[in-house]
Copies of this chain bind each other. A is one copy, B any other.
Amino acid sequence: MEGQPSARATGTAPGLQRADGSPVRVLVVDDEPSLAELLASVLRYEGWEIRTAATGSIAVRTAREFEPDAIVLDIMLPDFDGLEVLRRVRTMLPHVCVLFLTARDSVQDRINGITAGGDDYVTKPFSLEEVLARLRGLLRRAGMARASSGTELTVGDLTMDEDAREVRRGGERIDLTATEFELLRFMMRNPRRVLSKAQILDRVWNYDFGGQAHVVELYISYLRKKVDTGREPLIHTVRGVGYVLKPPA
């Protein structure tokens, strides 16, 4: 919710934009309107220009006219499937990046061929942070990084290499589980900003997660044990509001 844009403007996370400085363009293709809208609003908030399409044929038409830099593409579509969409789009936009959305039990072997081409995929239900991270990765590798600043996040003496999935505090390696890593990444992308539990749930947990904010407390507790134990704490509780990650004053 609060403040990604200004965070990007003033924070440490590198922004992404086209070579000419105009905003990155992303086409979102999913036949479920609420999910497409959810994705669109998150990506829009990232400062990008977004269009949505609900069917394969609309997607192809929209891509032709919109000329996106990236496409978030559901494999399963009412008319023809995502791979077919990609085949048609690639003829006019050979360099477009694609992030596929797939069902968990969907045909894995077909996916494998995809990633070879530099594209990527996430399985439904996904977390929004994961979609964002993968999209950023695709765009960065496609040469859309504004600064040459790499993939490293830093808060105080805590560092995170997103690609290598490596976290260190004062040089010492810290092992994190998948969820712990996502949570810490979200916090490191929004340092010095108080994040509510609802905000964290919405971003870090899968979009269909029905549980309570209590899990956030639990994972904060895990993180503290691994990141803050015996050191100057970086994770702080703001009672009644949320949590904030910040370097010691």
> Does A78 have its Cβ within 8 Å of any Cβ on chain B?
no
Expressed in whole angstroms, the Cα–Cα distance for A37 and B117 within the complex equals: 9
**The stretch of A2-10, A14-22, A64-72, A219-227 that contacts the partner chain:** A2-10
Please state if B38 and A141 are interface contacts (CB–CB under 8 Å). no
> When each residue 149-161 of chain A gets 1 if its CB lies under 8 Å from chain B and 0 otherwise, what string results?
0110000000001
Q: What is the minimal beta-carbon distance from A14 to any residue of chain B, in angstroms?
A: 13
Interface centre among A37, A140, A196 (most CB of B within 10 A): A37
Report B-chain residues with C-beta under 8 Å of the C-beta of A249. Answer: 173
Give the chain B neighbours of A150 by CB distance below 8 A.
6, 10
A128 touching B141 in the complex, CB below 8 Å, given contacts A90-B41, A163-B192, A163-B194: no
Q: How far is the CB of A30 from chain B (nearest CB, A)?
A: 14
A residues near B (Cβ < 8 Å) are: 1-6, 10, 33-34, 37-38, 40-42, 44-45, 50, 87, 90, 94-95, 110, 112-121, 128, 137, 140-143, 150-151, 161, 163-165, 173, 177-178, 192-194, 196, 198-199, 201-203, 207-210, 238-241, 244, 246, 249
